[in-house]
Amino acid sequence: MADTPLIYGSYNTNMYPIIPDGEITVSHNTRGKDKINPDKVYEKLLSIIN
């Protein structure tokens, strides 16, 4: 979730929002795409497949 409210990513159980570093939540104009930590993405992926 880079610049989209979390509500848009919670309507499906197969979606796993990842909050950008330094943010508590996201909304329009968060501008978080450059703050998404690839380690968080990797950790989330591992938790999904295990």
Q: pLDDT tens-digit profile of 9-43? A: 778 888 888 889 998 888 888 888 889 999 999 99
In a domain, 31, yes or no: yes
pLDDT over threshold 80, residue 44: yes
Q: End-to-end distance of the chain based on CA atoms, in angstroms?
A: 22
Which pLDDT does position 47 carry in this prediction? 95
In a domain, 27, yes or no: yes
The residue type of 37 is N
Integer Cα distance of 29 and 3 in angstroms? 6
Which pLDDT does position 49 carry in this prediction? 94
In a domain, 1, yes or no: no
Number of domains making up the chain: 1
In a domain, 33, yes or no: yes
* pTM over cut 0.75: no
What is the extent of the structural domain holding 16? 6-49
Choose between 3 and 22: higher pLDDT: 22
Which pLDDT does position 1 carry in this prediction? 64
